[in-house]
Amino acid sequence: MMGILWNLGAFLVALGILIAVHEFGHFWVARRCGVYVERFSIGFGKPLWRRVDKQGTEYILAMIPLGGYVKMLDERVDTVPAERRHQAFNNKSLWQRSAIVAAGPLANFVFAIFAYWVVYLIGVPAVKPVIGEVAPQSIAAQAGIESGMELKSVSGIQTPDWESVNMAMISHIGDDEMTLTAVPSEESYEKTFNLDLRNWSFDPESERILTTLGLTPFSPPITLEIGQLVDNGAAKKAGFEIGDTIVAIDKQPITQWLQVVDAVRSSPDQALTVQLRRGDELVEASLTPISKELPSGEWVGYAGFAPVMSEWPADQRFVRQYGPIEAIGEATGKTWQLVTLTFDMVTKLVTGDVALKNLSGPISIAKGAGTTADYGIVYFLGFLALISVNLGIVNLLPLPVLDGGHLLFFAIEAVTRRPVSERIQDLGYRLGSVILVVLMAVALINDFTRL
């Protein structure tokens, strides 16, 4: 229950920030174009808080925090006194109206740059993308990639860490090939590899993109020493202690942690005899893993303990941190990469290269907000930047109910030298609303199937 409340709280904070940023973009440019703004609202429904400034604009924080709006003086909506007609949105020039509408998505992109700028000022821990294993006969193996190589770029995009690698690779869903550059182990020169993706299949719901290509990231060896115990867990009840080393299970010698995992998972509610080294002596414990049901319906054993991880090599760990000026360039580059990736994914959704089942809705976003907030401010800011870019691009889609639809009407007006008729606009709004409702329904259904 607490997890749900935490996710919901983080989601509302994230949504409130991003809506405020988007609507402030419209508001700020509208005022500079001489448009009178009647109301700036975050949320819909009954006002929980309100204030009126010297210009007469009403600021509202409303009960339903699922959107927001900026209400401007407009003769198409209300009767406007003759002396104030020059302050109405509809009486402004075409470029001014276009600037006001485009300012919302633009504000989202600017915010993403700011968020990443703060992230890079604080610094984010990262590890170099060194390959641990390459699966035989996999796409990566056929391209000639070997264990121990460090990935440097994916199709020209620099990849200093695994996050960058994943983001760059996702953009290749539906493509026929991918180019990687990598530095072989203990060498200093880069080699180029062309991956044939014509037979590549990737389901983001159940697979990791690296695994589908045959790549496993390097990770430090896992020891057989007990490093963590869950209170009231099966291992604690069996007498396990932190610092114990697992020697054998049911008289079978244990040399790898994966053997421990397999033994526990395959023995729900079944007693296991575990031999442990504790200091200079050997002790035996009777461990009965509890049953735990996976989302797939499978029942597995769970014992409530974790191993000590070996130290990560110092030359592979680093902190992505930059000075105030350098961070601007890094943040701008990261935001641009997100923009191009999102545009690419939207295009592939339309062409069918990416399935609709990959759409995510508010439930998935809430989970992401809660998880990143749990990790700390740096990760939460990165999440805000990602969602802000997505919000900006979605609003630029040429659907009449969105900013992109208004810009489409303005583009037609620029060509025809006259506004699009109200009848055509009304028809467009109705069609756009239907499309949005359908997409939201698909996204919600996808969310519920992931629960």
* Selected catalytic residue, list 23, 146, 190, 205: 23
Contacts of residue 331, defined as CB under 8 A and 6 or more positions apart, other chains included, come to: 113, 114, 115, 116, 117, 119, 120
Q: Which residues pair with 133 in a beta bridge?
A: 216
Other Cβ atoms closer than 10 A to 263: 21
Site of tokens 């390459």: 134
Active site residue 23: yes
**Measured distance CA(141)–CA(115) in Å, rounded:** 38
Contacts of residue 206, defined as CB under 8 A and 6 or more positions apart, other chains included, come to: none
Contacts of residue 439, defined as CB under 8 A and 6 or more positions apart, other chains included, come to: 359
Other Cβ atoms closer than 10 A to 164: 20
Specify the DSSP class assigned to residue 130. Answer: B
Contacts of residue 122, defined as CB under 8 A and 6 or more positions apart, other chains included, come to: 321, 377, 378
Cβ atoms 24, 42 nearer than 8 A? no
Alpha helices in 128-178 (DSSP H): 139-143, 162-170
SS (H, E, C) 49-73: EEEECCCCCEEEEEEEEEEEEEEEC
Question: Per the structure block, which two tokens stand in for 204?
Answer: 């983001």
**Measured distance CA(8)–CA(10) in Å, rounded:** 6
Cβ atoms 425, 409 nearer than 8 A? yes
Cβ atoms 200, 212 nearer than 8 A? yes
**Measured distance CA(288)–CA(301) in Å, rounded:** 8
Site of tokens 């130290």: 311
Question: Per the structure block, which two tokens stand in for 126?
Answer: 């990262």
Site of tokens 């997100």: 338
Other Cβ atoms closer than 10 A to 45: 12
Cβ atoms 155, 168 nearer than 8 A? yes
Give Cα 107 distance to the centre of its chain: 19
Residue of 36, 100, 42 lying closest to 74 (CA atoms): 36
The SS3 call for residue 43 is: strand
**Measured distance CA(226)–CA(243) in Å, rounded:** 5
Q: Which residues are catalytic?
A: 23
